[in-house]
């Protein structure tokens, strides 16, 4: 397989087959997901030693735990004896994980600590230190926990690259610009969609173009304030430039805006007083902390391949978890500012619930459209005709002009399929045997 | 208390449950016939509409099985204002997740009055909601409901609705129907 079998960057076209071929799905698992660093959760989910939750690393089921020494572990949730999940509770606090089949037990760090009939029938010879749960490499970045099972993978910092480190750090800053400013609210949102995972990924990567999908909700003022459209920044009077930012070497993408100047607070128009006061205070604090960089507003993006996030006043991080070429499970973590008063957390939480996920008035229309688009990748005739990715082609510029926006990234301003092209170009490189 | 008093109070309960069953049937019909404005009229202005997310937890931690309202992630945790917006969204013909419309059938069963407190009646029930959409899409939602109905000027209004869905990972792409 060659990259050019799927993508023609000159023409701006992409094969439909990559959304429906099971063979390509199997290659993705090995070549795209396995070598990647994946978001697996947040330290606020592990407040106490012994706390754990189940997650996914790539598409692999994992246990994320804080052991008795306080260290964070990411363990493949598969018993070394016959492959049972060592843990079948979504979350909790434990001293060990006991496999329900033959009773092997594992410590919070994955060490095999108990084997029934160890002395009598294994004659004490089973090398317990070799049969612990498989441990992933772990990296904690401003509260977010990342993991990979690939020993050959780059370091987390190199995988992200310098520019995406900047954007991810910005994403995880609280509204006041404080690093590590968020906590996860209890309960992950998980649901299944009958479409290829890349429909979600490319939408989050850079689709500034699909306003038409959401016209119904634009009528209804579902924003945080309940008075402006679906986005809080819709109330801002300061002009801003929307942009697609892509790191072509690594496949990461960001949707963002840069405000023209460091303007006064004009974002949360009409929010309840206490909420408005909180955001006003944060706005000033953030400008003090970040200076000129406070002009940046991140809307969302994708850390290659399947970690996606939404920002711009509602911070969520999620995973696209393919189950097959045509089926995807979606997981979402909802974040609220750690130090905010409860009324802010609650108002924000209600905003997420009406916005995102299967009950979200905005995202419902995304899911509907992606599953319908999936049909367009299955017909034999249709598959001869590629998809069109020509929107704003050839208008990219390097970021060097505004140095703080990144060194390696390229940018296209306004509505564009710049990020989708970068995402798929990198994807095709990973999938291909030869360029 | 005499035998006839016992009989009286048993009959009162039966009559009340019959009234509530009819109320729920009429409500289900409004939803299935897409008479959403009539449905909104059944909701008390102070309604809390809550559908938690189910988690898989240890047997001795049943209180953590469903996410909490007012603090955790839920499928729904909102009031009548947002439900009104949801109805307006569906009615516009531009909410693609319901355009063209799904065909739904709402069944409510095992209706049982749990408690009566002044004008407020707590009712437990079970539901099956089937949604068929476009050519091939099927959604099936099964679970339990605990409602608080308030009698206002002789009419029942839904003051609180707790909807416990049996699914954990939602096996449907969307929750565009009402429960
Ligand atoms: S499968 Fe886990 S102990 Fe046998
Ligand atoms: Fe969208």
pLDDT tens-digit series, residues A79-123:
999 999 999 999 999 999 999 999 999 999 999 999 999 999 999
What's the CA gap between A127 and A119, in Å, rounded? 12
Q: What percent of chain A has pLDDT over 90?
A: 89
Flag whether B171 is in a domain: no
Q: Given a cut of 70, is residue A289 above it in pLDDT? A: yes
- Maximum Cα interatomic distance, chain B, rounded to a whole number of Å: 62
Contact B73 A186 (CB under 8 A): yes
- Total count of domains within chain B: 1
Tokens 């995972």 found at: A197
Per-residue tokens: A283 = 């706005």
Flag whether B26 is in a domain: yes
Q: What percent of chain B has pLDDT over 90?
A: 97
Q: What ipTM does the predicted assembly reach?
A: 0.96
Mean pLDDT of A401-421: 91
What's the CA gap between A29 and A420, in Å, rounded? 20
Q: Given a cut of 90, is residue A413 above it in pLDDT? A: yes
Per-residue tokens: B88 = 């307006």
Q: How far is CA B163 from the centre of its chain?
A: 6
Q: Does the domain made of A38-139 have the CATH classification 3.40.50.150?
A: no
Which chain A residues touch B96 with a CB distance below 8 Å?
Answer: 213, 216, 365, 368-369
Mean pLDDT of A216-233: 87
Q: Does A88 touch chain B (CB under 8 A)?
A: yes
Closest Cα to residue A369, out of A201, A210, A208? A210
pLDDT tens-digit series, residues A1-16:
899 999 999 999 999 9
Give residue limits of the domains in chain A: 3-36+163-431, 38-139
Per-residue tokens: A111 = 């060490």
Can you give the residue range of the structural domain that contains B36? 3-47+80-165
Flag whether B99 is in a domain: yes
CATH (domain of B25)? 3.10.450.50
State the pTM of this model: 0.97
* Residue B4: predicted pLDDT: 86
Tokens 């009950």 found at: A359
Q: Give yes or no for a cis peptide into B100 (omega within 30° of 0).
A: yes
Mean pLDDT of A238-242: 92
Flag whether B161 is in a domain: yes
* Residue A264: predicted pLDDT: 86
Per-residue tokens: A150 = 């690939």
CA distance from start to end of chain A: 9
Question: Chain A window 311-330: which residues touch B at a Cβ cutoff of 8 Å?
Answer: 329
Flag whether B8 is in a domain: yes
Kind of pairing between the strands at B155-165 and B43-52: parallel
Instruction: Provide the shortest C-alpha distance from residue B137 to chain A (in Å).
Output: 10
Q: Given a cut of 70, is residue B139 above it in pLDDT? A: yes
Q: How far is CA A396 from the centre of its chain?
A: 25
The alpha-carbon radius of gyration of chain B (Å, integer) is 18
What size, in residues, is chain B? 179
Flag whether B55 is in a domain: no
What's the CA gap between A284 and A335, in Å, rounded? 21
Residue nearest to atom 1 of ligand 1 (CA): A82
Inter-residue contact A248 to A425 (CB < 8 Å): yes
What's the CA gap between A307 and A37, in Å, rounded? 9
Flag whether B21 is in a domain: yes
Q: Given a cut of 90, is residue A359 above it in pLDDT? A: yes
pLDDT tens-digit series, residues A391-408:
999 999 887 667 889 989
* Residue A400: predicted pLDDT: 65
Tokens 């069109």 found at: A388
**Which letter does DSSP use for residue A394 in this model?**
T
* Residue A141: predicted pLDDT: 98
The reply to whether ligand 1 has any atom less than 6 angstroms from the CB of A104 is yes
What's the CA gap between A303 and A300, in Å, rounded? 10
What's the CA gap between B56 and B51, in Å, rounded? 16
**Which letter does DSSP use for residue B54 in this model?**
B
Q: Does the domain made of A3-36+163-431 have the CATH classification 1.20.1340.10?
A: no
Mean pLDDT of A200-209: 96
Per the DSSP assignment, residues forming a β-bridge with A332 are A189, A318
What's the CA gap between A347 and A220, in Å, rounded? 17
Flag whether B56 is in a domain: no
* Residue A401: predicted pLDDT: 64
Mean pLDDT of A40-45: 98
- The SS3 assignment for B14 reads helix
* Residue B87: predicted pLDDT: 98
**What is the average pLDDT value for chain A, to the nearest integer?**
95
Tell me which of B52, B70, B96 to substitute to probe the interface with A (most A C-beta atoms closer than 10 Å): B96
């Amino acid at each position: 397989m060659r990259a050019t079998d799927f993508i023609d960057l000159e023409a701006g076209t992409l094969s439909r087959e990559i959304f429906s071929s099971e063979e390509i799905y199997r290659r993705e698992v090995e070549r795209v997901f396995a070598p990647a660093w994946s978001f697996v959760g947040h330290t606020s989910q592990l407040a106490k030693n012994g706390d754990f939750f189940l997650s996914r690393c790539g598409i692999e089921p994992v246990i994320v735990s804080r052991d008795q020494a306080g260290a964070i572990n990411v363990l493949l949730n598969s018993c070394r004896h016959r492959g049972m999940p060592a843990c079948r509770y979504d979350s909790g606090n434990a001293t060990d994980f006991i496999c329900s089949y033959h009773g092997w037990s594992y410590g919070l760090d994955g060490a095999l600590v108990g084997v029934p009939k160890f002395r009598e029938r294994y004659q004490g010879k089973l090398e317990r230190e070799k049969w612990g749960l498989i441990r992933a490499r772990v990296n904690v970045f401003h509260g977010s926990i990342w993991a990979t099972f690939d020993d050959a993978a780059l370091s987390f910092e190199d995988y992200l690259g310098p520019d995406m480190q900047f954007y991810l750090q910005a994403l995880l800053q609280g509204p006041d610009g404080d690093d590590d400013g968020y906590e996860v609210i209890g309960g992950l949102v998980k649901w299944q969609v009958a479409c290829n995972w890349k429909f979600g990924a490319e939408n989050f990567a850079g689709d500034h173009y699909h306003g038409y999908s959401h016209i119904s909700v634009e009528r209804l003022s579902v924003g945080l304030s309940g008075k402006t459209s679906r986005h809080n920044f819709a109330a801002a009077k300061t002009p801003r430039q929307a942009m697609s930012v892509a790191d072509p070497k690594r496949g990461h993408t960001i949707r963002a805006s840069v405000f023209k100047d460091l303007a006064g607070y004009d974002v949360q128009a009409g929010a309840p007083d206490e909420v408005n006061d909180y955001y006003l205070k944060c706005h000033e604090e953030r400008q003090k902390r970040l200076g000129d960089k406070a002009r940046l507003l991140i809307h969302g993006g994708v850390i290659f391949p399947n970690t996606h996030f939404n920002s711009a006043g509602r911070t969520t991080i999620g995973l696209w978890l393919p189950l097959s070429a045509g089926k995807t499970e979606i997981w979402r973590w909802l974040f609220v500012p750690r130090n905010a008063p409860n009324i802010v957390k609650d108002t924000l939480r209600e905003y997420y619930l009406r916005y995102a996920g299967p009950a979200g008035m905005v995202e419902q229309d995304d899911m509907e459209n992606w599953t319908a688009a999936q049909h367009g990748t299955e017909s034999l005739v249709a598959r001869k005709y590629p998809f069109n990715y020509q929107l704003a082609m050839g208008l990219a510029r390097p970021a060097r002009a505004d140095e703080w926006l990144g060194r390696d990234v390229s940018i296209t301003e306004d509505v564009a399929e710049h990020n989708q092209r970068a995402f798929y170009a990198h994807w095709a490189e990973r999938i291909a045997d030869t360029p | 208390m005499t035998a006839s008093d016992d009989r009286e109070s048993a009959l009162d309960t039966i009559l009340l449950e019959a009234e509530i069953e009819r109320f729920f049937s009429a409500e289900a019909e409004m939803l299935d016939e897409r008479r959403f404005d009539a449905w909104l009229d059944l909701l008390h202005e102070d309604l809390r509409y809550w559908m938690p997310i189910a988690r898989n937890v240890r047997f001795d931690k049943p209180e953590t099985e469903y996410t909490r309202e007012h603090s955790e992630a839920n499928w729904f945790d909102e009031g009548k204002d947002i439900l009104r917006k949801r109805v307006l969204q569906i009615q516009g013909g531009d909410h693609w997740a319901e355009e063209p419309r799904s065909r739904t059938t709402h069944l409510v069963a095992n209706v049982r009055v749990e408690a009566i407190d002044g004008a407020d009646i707590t009712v437990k029930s079970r539901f099956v909601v089937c949604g068929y959409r476009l050519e091939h899409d099927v959604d099936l939602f099964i679970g339990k409901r605990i409602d608080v109905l308030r009698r206002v000027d002789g009419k029942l209004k839904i003051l609180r609705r707790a909807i416990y869905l049996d699914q954990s990972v939602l096996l449907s792409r969307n929750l565009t129907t009402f429960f």
